[in-house]
Structure 1
Amino acid sequence: MLIILGLVVAVAAVAAGVAGVAANTSDVNRLTSDFSVFDYHFAGTTGELFLIGILVGVVGGLGVGLVSAGAWRSTRRGLTTRRELRESRREMAAVQRDLAKTKEPVKKPVPTTTGKRESAWSVSRLLRKPDKSAAAAK
Structure 2
Amino acid sequence: MDSQQQAQTAALHRIEAWSNVTETQVQTLTRNRAVGQVAFSASLLASGSGHTGPFNTDTTLVFRGVVSNIGNAYNPHTGIFTAPVRGAYHFEFYVFGSGGSHDSVVGLEKNGEHVFIAQQNYSHVKEPF
Global fold match (TM > 0.5): no
Higher strand share: 2
Name the structure, 1 or 2, with higher relative contact order (CA <8 Å, separation 6+).
2
Larger radius of gyration: 1
**TM-score for both structures, normalised by structure 1:** 0.29
Higher helix share: 1
